Amino acid sequence: MKTQEPLLISAEQLAEMLQISTRTLWRLLSAGKLITPVHIGGSTRWRLEQVRKWIDEGCPPPASSNN
């Protein structure tokens, strides 16, 4: 039986994918340099498919919605 990939990943998993510390990940998020996460209850998660696309595009900073 094939193991299904998760739809959402944690900050720790994203940091591992990006080869950075979780502290650096939170700093990048605060600086607006990461894609927007999903908040579920008290948890913060990222959509794996969206993360992979973002990485494939070279990790561009997200477009600001305030412009």
**Cβ 45 vs Cβ 9: under 8 Å:** yes
pLDDT at position 4: 85
**Cβ 59 vs Cβ 32: under 8 Å:** no
Per domain, the residue ranges of the chain are 8-56
pLDDT at position 64: 59
pTM across the whole model: 0.84
Which residues, including other chains, have CB under 8 Å from residue 37's CB and lie 6 or more apart? 29, 44, 45, 46
Q: What is the pLDDT along the chain (67 residues), one digit of tens a residue?
A: 667 888 999 999 999 999 999 999 999 999 999 999 999 999 999 999 999 999 999 999 887 544 4
